[in-house]
Chains A and B, each alone.
Chain A
Amino acid sequence: MTPVSTSLAVILTFAVLAAIAAILLRDVLNAIIAFAAFSFGIAVAWILLAAPDVALTEAAVGAGITTVLFLVTIAKTVRPGGERLFERIAWRSVAIVAVLVGALLTTIRSLPAVGSSEAPVATSRITEYYLQNAYPETGVENVVTAVLAAYRGFDTLGEATVVIAAGLAVLLVLRQEAYV
């Protein structure tokens, strides 16, 4: 195994354990902390996979802001009583999840290896076009930004509109709540 795939295996194990902890922990505060740890692990995994743009988003949104918003929200809830640390496991749900995960795992065999030069994304003509023309056409060195803001600018405008619309809707609902 290469050093990168070893560290990737370590960090993904950490992320999966943190995710399981987030599900099983009974106290919501503990679950939120475990969830933040999960997001942090995924962010590091993105860095190892050479996707710093996604890593930055995952770290800032997943591990940062979401955790704070969760904390502010659970301050309004009641803590479960009792001394138990973990949630009781609902075996029927576990069975359903296991079937679903098993079905998804069957697709893994047909995925290209990490970093493979034969992967469709590496051999695609669109990828080649972006890599060759993004800088001469836009003067932007980060191809991800060139695609997001120039080639797919209309999609990004849609994304920004979704953020505005969702934000306004949630804010209106919350404000309504405050005046009840």
Chain B
Amino acid sequence: MSQSDPNRTYVESTIIMTTVRVVVPFVFTFGVFVMFHGAESAGGGFQGGVIVASAVLLLAFAFGIEPTRAWLEGPLAQLAIASGGGTFALIGLGALLSGGAFLEYPAYGFGTDGVKYGIELVELGIGAVVSGVLVSLFFSLSQGDFQSVGNGGGNGSNNGNGDGDAAGGERA
């Protein structure tokens, strides 16, 4: 009932790997499109950020969570979170410096174009925050269980069954 096989959660599948390799660029582009195009159609930073994060999750399911984590090694996600929040705040403060109120886009003096591009930059910032938080949440949550089995001793590792099914859900 409880086999403690470290690799039980990942099964290499050519079909899934090929599909994901084809689909991911489109998912990623669509996510960035939703971020940018929030001004003209449905969407915006929050939705686009989630879609970009789901592209990374697809990669993790197809090629294994650990290799994907190693591939994204470094403070990339943290950098996205910080720079996204920073962009939003700086755009607000820049308007303050240009003599307007906080986040008053017309104060930059580019007319409605300035407002529009300000809004789009803000949406990009939000997207970076959301995708960074979601990707790091995913990797943190899957840590421990998927890299080393039985971290908390023998009695806690009776989860082979549930894991097998979770992996089955991912495979389907």
A residues lining the B interface (CB < 8 Å): 28-29, 33, 52-53, 55-57, 60-61, 64-65, 68-69, 71-79, 136-142, 144-146, 148-150, 153-154, 156-157, 160-161, 163-164, 166-168, 170-171, 174-175, 177-178
Contacts and interface: CB of A to CB of B under 8 A. Distances in A.
Nearest to A76: B145
A65 B54 contact: yes
Contact of A140 (B39, B50, B89): B39
Q: Interface SS of chain B: helix, strand, loop or mixed?
A: helix
Given A138-B112, A142-B42, A167-B81, A64 B54 contact: yes
B169 A33 contact: yes
30 contacts: A29-B166, A33-B169, A57-B46, A60-B47, A64-B50, A65-B134, A72-B141, A74-B162, A75-B167, A136-B112, A139-B111, A139-B112, A139-B113, A140-B39, A140-B116, A140-B119, A141-B41, A142-B40, A149-B123, A150-B115, A153-B103, A156-B88, A157-B92, A160-B45, A160-B125, A161-B85, A163-B133, A164-B85, A167-B137, A178-B143
B57 A65 contact: yes
B88 A160 contact: yes
Given A29-B166, A75-B145, A138-B116, A160 B159 contact: no
A174 B105 contact: no
B81 A52 contact: no
Contact of B57 (A53, A68, A161): A68
A57 to B, nearest CB: 5
A14 B61 CA distance: 29
B142 interface: yes
Contacts of A142: 38-42
Contacts of A65: 50, 53-54, 57, 134
Contact of B159 (A61, A78, A170): A78
B140 interface: yes
Contacts of B137: 69, 167, 170-171, 174
A29 B169 CA distance: 9
Contacts of A53: 42-44, 47
Contacts of B142: 72, 75
Interface of B: 9, 34, 38-47, 50-51, 53-54, 57, 81, 84-85, 88-89, 92, 102-103, 105, 111-113, 115-116, 119, 122-123, 125-126, 129-130, 132-134, 136-138, 140-146, 158-159, 161-163, 165-167, 169-170
Contacts of B57: 65, 68
A140 B136 contact: no
Q: Interface SS of chain A: helix, strand, loop or mixed?
A: helix
The 10 closest A-B pairs by CB, nearest first: A139-B112, A167-B133, A52-B42, A174-B140, A60-B50, A139-B116, A153-B103, A149-B119, A79-B162, A140-B39
Contacts of A157: 88-89, 92, 103
B30 to A, nearest CB: 11
Contacts of A171: 133, 136-137, 140
A78 B162 contact: yes
Contact of A145 (B85, B123, B143, B145): B123
